[in-house]
Amino acid sequence: MLAAPARPGRRIGPYDPRRGNGPARTTGGCNVSDGRRRRAPNQADVARLAGVSQSAVSRVVSGNAATARIPEETRQRVFDAVKELGYVANPAARAMRNKRNNLLGVHTFEPVFPRAHEDFHFPFLLGIEERAEETDYDLVLFTATTPGKNRRPIYRKGTNRLNLADGTVLLGESTDRGELARLWYDGYTFIHIGRREVPGAEIPCVIPDYESATERLVERLADRGHRRVAYLRALEDSEWFLDRRKGYAHAVRRLGLTDTSARFTSDPDALEDWFDELAAGDETAVVVETQWLVGFLEKGLAARGLRIPEDISVALLEVTPTEGLRYDSLEIPRKQIGRIAVDRLIAMLDDPDLRSANLLVPCPVVPGDSIGAPSARPA
């Protein structure tokens, strides 16, 4: 198909919470005077360099370019000019934020506050809370939802609600990328849990390393002798799925495996046809993206008289289900990531040059009972 640190400043594991291991980008000022003094660039400077109107610059940096029907080429010229000049919006607001109040924000783009300990986001929030307490910061949880829309905007009537806090940890699946871009151009200090790609902006993220973990799971299959594998994917193309698919494709090429899953998706009708082909084919292993899909796979194989791992080996690219077969899977260190996000946010408040750097957090591979040696199935 195709380590959280004990305290700031101490280096533990693959990253340094004060400096980070990602490529930090330094944004410089723009000398537009006669050399006697320097001033920060403004939107007019960006407009001149990009060859567009100041109103176009305003719409692009505010995240409203899509609704204003600004062409992608024009948006890219504005983004390039912003980077070259080191433009940061709202310098007055940023100056006010230099007065620290030891408040850190937590903003979710949809209601995710745990209603049960099994909630996916609970460990992230637990890690954030623990580390904030250890570093003597108070937390502000932003929960206001747009009436009737089940979403939580950052900006209300043009005002950044997060300004109450020195900086904010962002998380959630329904990320508003326009608001992320605007927040970044405003110069507000924030960190996003999970990779988010926003054209023209360098969103600072703490990223679970799904790509490397997926490669290691495919290596486990190859080490057991599997040469023909298939990949069962979700319909979404979110970053967290794309990272897994990239790791899978790279491992298949590197290990010289044969992949037979290019045309298959998680569409229920297509899945039944694919299960028939899988039962009759030469594939001996399947890599599955989600718990939801692995449930479909279990039922489909059982209906055709196939067992896991006796007939088909399976690697799961999520945490193994709490009930039933224990899958060879990957673990998302969610509590650790929450702690790392707080350390990173504090480091960014101390050093603004870190505001464009990412941190990759390893995802351990968890051995299970779903990978065996290839079996020769009767024709």
Tell me the pTM. Answer: 0.73
Give which of 221, 191, 195, 199 is closest to 210, Cα–Cα: 195
Structural domains of the chain in order of their starting residue, each with its CATH number: 43-85 (no CATH), 97-208+334-362 (3.40.50.2300), 209-331 (3.40.50.2300)
Q: Are strands 155-156 and 159-160 parallel, antiparallel or unpaired?
A: antiparallel
| Segment 1-19, tens digit of pLDDT | 433 333 333 222 333 333 3
Lookup: tokens for 28: 């410089």
Average pLDDT (351-371) is 90
- Distances from the Cα of 304 to the Cα of 298, 312, 313, 352, angstroms: 10, 12, 15, 58
Of all helices (H) and strands (E), which one includes residue 205?
strand 205-209
Instruction: Tell me the per-residue pLDDT of 191-234, one tens digit each, with 9 for 90 and over.
Output: 999 999 888 888 999 999 999 999 999 999 999 999 999 999 88
At residue 348's C-alpha, the angle toward residues 192 and 120, to 5°, is 25
Q: Which of 327, 313, 307, 322 is nearest to 368 (CA)?
A: 327
Q: Compute the C-alpha angle 121/237/321, nearest 5°.
A: 45
Which backbone phi and psi does 255 adopt, to 5 degrees?
-90, 0
Work out the angle between the directed axes of helices 122-134 and 334-350 (0-180°, nearest 10).
40
pLDDT (tens digit per residue) in 111-123: 766 565 557 888 9
User: Which alpha helices (H) appear in the chain, and where do they start and end?
Assistant: 43-50, 54-61, 72-85, 91-97, 122-134, 177-185, 210-223, 239-255, 268-280, 291-303, 334-350
Name the one residue in this structure whose structure tokens are 């707080």.
342
Cβ atoms < 10 Å from Cβ of 64: 14
Phi, psi of 190 (to 5 degrees): -155, 165
In the predicted model, is pLDDT for residue 77 greater than 90? no
